[in-house]
A and B are shown apart, each in its own frame.
Chain A
Amino acid sequence: AQRVTQPEKLLSVFKGAPVELKCNYSYSGSPELFWYVQYSRQRLQLLLRHISRESIKGFTADLNKGETSFHLKKPFAQEEDSAMYYCALTGSGGSNYKLTFGKGTLLTVNP
């Protein structure tokens, strides 16, 4: 079974502070991990995926298979980062190729 856990429903930081949104997963095979973001009144959109190993809007996420984690990090938070963040995973191929989402973390960056 695929499972994604985001332990924090709410996270509040000040502008310029580092931010880390936690994500832990459970999957018996080799998953592909994603972070999605939904800004206020906007559509859900892909932020980054672990395969690409990119930094998007200053955010990075490293897949730690030993700890089964995929935490999202940014060294200096900006007010425009305030949004709902969802971690998601998929297995590979066939019926396993579908997104399983965490419940999400609402990030608020205070001025």
Chain B
Amino acid sequence: KAGVTQTPRYLIKTRGQQVTLSCSPISGHRSVSWYQQTPGQGLQFLFEYFSETQRNKGNFPGRFSGRQFSNSRSEMNVSTLELGDSALYLCASSPSGALYEQYFGPGTRLTVT
């Protein structure tokens, strides 16, 4: 079956702009989690959505938000971009949210200039 897909794969934005990233989970998976990966901080959990509800969140400012649609596709939005938001954003899906069942996407590389 098709894996987790993320669009776009690469993105360049300017400070102060906002950006929306998309994640399509594996068919039948109802949980989508988002992670930020940077050289300095490594991989950090952003939030998890299950059946259109945010179930858990990490320690990120309110500029980072997300949502999940009825077909389980998820988007994350970052408003008022800062240079430090430059990162690889990964999403992962799982059938029920169990972490050991997560499958990761290829990531979206966001560069903020």
Contacts and interface: CB of A to CB of B under 8 A. Distances in A.
Bin the interface of chain B by size.
20 to 34
Bin the interface of chain A by size.
20 to 34
B99 interface: yes
A34 interface: yes
Interface in B7-66: 33, 35, 42-45, 48, 56, 58
Interface of A: 32, 34, 43-46, 49, 51-52, 86, 88, 90, 94-95, 97-104
B105 A43 contact: yes
A100 B58 CA distance: 10
B81 interface: no
A80 B100 CA distance: 23
Interface in B56-113: 56, 58, 90, 92, 99-100, 102-106
A101 B4 CA distance: 20
21 contacts: A32-B99, A34-B99, A43-B105, A44-B90, A44-B92, A46-B100, A49-B100, A52-B100, A86-B42, A97-B56, A98-B45, A98-B99, A99-B35, A99-B43, A100-B45, A101-B42, A101-B43, A101-B44, A102-B42, A103-B42, A104-B42
A34 B100 contact: yes
Contacts of B43: 86, 88, 99, 101, 104
- Most central of A34, A97, A104 by chain B CB within 10 Å: A97
Q: Which 7 A-B pairs rank lowest in CB-CB distance, beginning with the nearest?
A: A101-B43, A44-B104, A103-B42, A98-B45, A43-B104, A49-B100, A98-B56
A3 to B, nearest CB: 12
Nearest to A97: B56
Contact of B102 (A32, A46, A100, A101): A46
Given A43-B106, A100-B45, 9 more contacts: A44-B104, A45-B103, A45-B104, A98-B58, A99-B35, A99-B43, A101-B42, A101-B43, A104-B42
